């Protein structure tokens, strides 16, 4: 009998961070929950980052994942946007670390390839495949669908790669292969 691994997938963003929780038992996946943590545009960046941390801490406390998977950030053309996304990503990495959870990171094209079979898949294609891989799951919004895709990607790679956390940091190299 295989142990159940509860995985929290996170799609970082300052305005909206998607989250999705799945249970993985061998090759079987089961949807547990999903949603978003949203911040208010009229708040200062520090207030938004604090709200993001609080929301993620609540998700972690409620769903008690065993591990967390986060999408790596790709380079943004706008330096100001890249900086703000980097700050949000720092909070997204911090929240599970404070809860002493394992964190794996996956390149966006590896997530897409793992879910759709194409590293350049659209958000619509990812949402559609979430419905196939997690039957009867009605996901509202692309951020939560992306987070579930990240969790599924981690389930596939955690099951097949020894030393998954050390190797997960090299997924960008594998995605290019």
Q: Any idea which residues carry the catalytic annotation?
A: 11, 71, 143
Reading phi first (left if > 0) and then psi (alpha if -120 to 50, else beta), residue 130 is in alpha
How far is the first Cα of the chain from the last one, in angstroms, to the nearest whole number? 34
Give the single-character DSSP code of 35: E
Q: How many CA atoms lie within 13 A of 61 on its CB side?
A: 7
- The number of beta carbons lying within 10 Å of the beta carbon of residue 109 is 18
């Amino acid at each position: 009998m295989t142990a159940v691994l509860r995985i929290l997938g996170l799609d970082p963003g300052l305005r909206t961070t998607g989250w999705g929780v799945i249970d993985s038992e061998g090759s079987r996946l089961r949807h547990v929950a999903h949603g978003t943590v949203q911040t208010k545009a009229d708040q200062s960046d520090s207030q938004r980052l604090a709200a993001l941390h609080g929301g993620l801490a609540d998700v972690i406390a409620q769903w008690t994942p065993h591990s967390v998977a986060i999408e790596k950030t790709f380079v943004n053309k706008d330096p100001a946007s890249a900086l703000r996304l980097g700050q949000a990503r720092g909070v997204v990495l911090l929240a599970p670390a404070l809860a002493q959870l394992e964190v794996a990171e996956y390149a966006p094209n590896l997530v897409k390839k793992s879910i759709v079979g194409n590293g350049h898949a659209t958000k619509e294609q990812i949402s559609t495949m979430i419905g196939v891989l997690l039957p009867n799951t009605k996901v509202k919004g692309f951020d939560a669908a992306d987070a579930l895709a990240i969790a599924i990607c981690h389930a596939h790679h955690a099951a097949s790669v020894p030393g998954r956390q050390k190797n997960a940091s090299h997924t960008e190299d594998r995605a290019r292969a």
